[in-house]
Chain A
Amino acid sequence: MQELAKEFVACADEVGHLQMVKGPEADLFRKVAEQGHYAGRTKPTSTRQGIYACAPNGVLLASINTTNAGAMSGMMEKALTRWKELKPEERLSKEALAADPGGRTRWERLYPADGLVLKDWSRDLPRNEPVRDAWNLDYAWFRREEARRFLPESIEEGALYDVPRDLVLRLARFHFVDNVRGQTYPWQEAEIATAEMAAIVDEVKDGRARIRFAGKTKATAVGKWRVNGFDPTANDQKRGFDARILGTATWDFAKERFVEFEMIAAGTRWGGTQYNARPDDLGEAPMAHLLRLAGETPAERVAPASIWGYGWR
């Protein structure tokens, strides 16, 4: 399949965004999707999730929604056959395409290239009984001035420092969530019972400072909501995550940025939300998030899932 993929320009994107927003990118997606496997569908949802092969002018070549590798390869081969049947004027846009046309809304515009960009992996921790293995990935973003505030104003060996609450809150509310098996909601600020983190400067040497982090967060929510996908029943529910935080990082004085960063938030989670696939696993169980520096490839510039809650403009 990786060889077949080289015949295409491959991309991945968030379907809800493409279905809802205005602009040339979303318009083109809707044109493609309404020729595809979910065209016109409204029940159980109107999602247009799936894998699409299309020409740059929006002509659909093939589409499918599957996790089966064989079916996926078949769709790609069918698409390539169809592509070869089309003349250039039947597959390319007549107008030149602007790289960043007006009216296109993307959170990626706010990517903090000179700040702190972290990969946020999540997974359940081992239990006594077998557990369904799943993991997820999100990104956590901090702007340059925010990244600097993870450290004391004067970075001196032995300095102890309380990391500002707004930075810890961002992690607690939008990242230390139970997304292991699927999408979930961030925490409301009022649901954060604890959000504390400290930094200690262990060593300053050769233009770099070595930092340790320690902290704790606790989020709890009680109410009535759905926890089982398309099941419309909303019952009394509770959910939470009680975590301890440890981490290490290296700050480069010349680059004025972190060149190493590794942090874990591990603890006990409970409850579920509509789409995070926990209806059979609502009790207390261990879970962890691991934060590490992200690379700078296009695929690693995806905006955080809940960036809308950051308050960035």
Chain B
Amino acid sequence: MKSGNSSKRESERAAAIMGQMRRASIALTLLLAAPLGAQELTDETFAKIRDHVLPAPDELRWTAVDWRASFWDAVVEAQKADKPVLLWAMNGHPLACT
């Protein structure tokens, strides 16, 4: 026979587990969901898709230039260094979404 305290602890633990399971309802559904097709993202296809999406070194040659991310930062630096400014200005920031 279990003592009252032990029984209470077990009840509390069971309630905690049940609460966690309820909170994790989406988690269980998503983590256990079966893949739907050949193109589907799975643990097995993850690395292949990652390597496909990442730009190749050739596609990142523009990052070899020491770009400042704003016009004014470059102007202030150029004034101090007595150098000209080279500005790449596009719709969408050229160093990110363009």
List residues of chain A with CB under 8 Å of any chain B CB.
2, 5, 7-16, 18, 24-25, 28-29, 32-33, 47-56, 61, 76, 79-80, 83, 88, 91-93, 97-99, 101, 104, 106, 108, 121-123, 125-126, 135-139, 159-162, 179, 182-183, 196-200, 212, 214-216, 243-246, 262, 264-267, 275, 286, 288-290, 298-305
Q: Which residues of chain A are near B43, meaning CB under 8 Å?
A: 246
- Can you identify 30 A-B contacts, CB atoms within 8 angstroms? A2-B64, A7-B84, A9-B85, A9-B86, A10-B67, A10-B74, A11-B88, A12-B67, A12-B87, A12-B89, A13-B70, A14-B90, A48-B89, A54-B84, A56-B79, A79-B86, A98-B76, A99-B76, A123-B53, A135-B59, A159-B20, A160-B20, A214-B27, A266-B39, A275-B91, A298-B67, A298-B69, A299-B95, A302-B69, A303-B96
The proximity string for B residues 55-88 relative to A, scoring 1 for CB distances below 8 Å and 0 otherwise, is: 1000101011111111111111111011111111
Alpha-carbon gap, A93 to B82, bound state (A): 10
Q: Taking each of B25, B49, B71, which has the highest tally of chain A beta carbons within 10 Å of its own beta carbon?
A: B71
Evaluate contact between A244 and B52: CB separation under 8 angstroms: no
Evaluate contact between B69 and A11: CB separation under 8 angstroms: yes
Q: Answer yes or no: B23 CB below 8 A from chain A CBs.
A: yes
Q: Which residues of chain B are near A79, meaning CB under 8 Å?
A: 84, 86
Q: Which residues of chain A are near B84, meaning CB under 8 Å?
A: 7-9, 53-56, 61, 79-80, 83, 91
Evaluate contact between B46 and A246: CB separation under 8 angstroms: yes
Q: Which residues of chain A are near B41, meaning CB under 8 Å?
A: 243-246, 264-267, 288
Q: Identify which of A10, A29, A47 contacts B91 (C-beta below 8 A).
A: A47
Q: Taking each of B24, B79, B87, which has the highest tally of chain A beta carbons within 10 Å of its own beta carbon?
A: B87
Q: Report the nearest B residue to A57, measured CB to CB.
A: B79
Q: Taking each of A12, A13, A54, which has the highest tally of chain B beta carbons within 10 Å of its own beta carbon?
A: A12
Known: A9-B83, A56-B78, A93-B79. A50 touches B89 (CB 8 A): yes
Q: Which 3 A-B pairs have the closest CB atoms?
A: A198-B27, A160-B24, A11-B74
Evaluate contact between B88 and A9: CB separation under 8 angstroms: no
Known: A108-B70, A262-B50. A16 touches B30 (CB 8 A): no
Q: Which residues of chain B are near A29, meaning CB under 8 Å?
A: 71, 87, 89
Q: Which residues of chain B are near A25, meaning CB under 8 Å?
A: 70-72, 75
Evaluate contact between B30 and A9: CB separation under 8 angstroms: no
Known: A54-B84, A79-B84. A183 touches B91 (CB 8 A): yes
Q: Identify which of A2, A12, A161 contacts B93 (C-beta below 8 A).
A: A12
Chain B's nearest CB lies how many Å from the CB of A261? 12
Chain B's nearest CB lies how many Å from the CB of A9? 4
Alpha-carbon gap, A108 to B67, bound state (A): 15
Alpha-carbon gap, A100 to B91, bound state (A): 23
Evaluate contact between B71 and A88: CB separation under 8 angstroms: no
